[in-house]
């Protein structure tokens, strides 16, 4: 996939290696946000989750949910309808 960076912090997303991948492609909203919020507490502080989604509404929900729960959204990338989020605990 050739993702285009929509949002990033300091590092280029290609330079970040996620510790875990959560593939929610094909799942309707709000499932990607719910499963992300259920998964994040299981990560150790500093670990990174890669969340894949093709739910258009997730572009609004995921950034808000990560911030509201104290996680860091490192990047948002898009490839057509596919979205890739890198979230750090």
Active site residues: 29
Q: Are 47 and 17 in contact (CB under 8 A)?
A: no
What are the tokens at 63?
Answer: 């950034």
DSSP 40: G
Q: How many residues does the chain have?
A: 89
Distance CA 80, CA 10 (A): 24
């Amino acid at each position: 996939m050739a993702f285009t960076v929509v949002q990033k912090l300091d590092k280029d997303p290609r330079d970040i290696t996620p510790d875990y991948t959560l593939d929610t492609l094909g799942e309707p909203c709000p499932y990607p946000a719910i499963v992300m919020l259920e998964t994040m507490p299981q990560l150790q502080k500093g670990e990174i989750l890669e969340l894949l989604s093709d739910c258009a509404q997730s572009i609004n929900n995921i950034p808000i949910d990560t911030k509201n729960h104290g996680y860091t959204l490192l990047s948002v990338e898009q490839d057509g309808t596919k979205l890739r989020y890198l979230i750090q605990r």
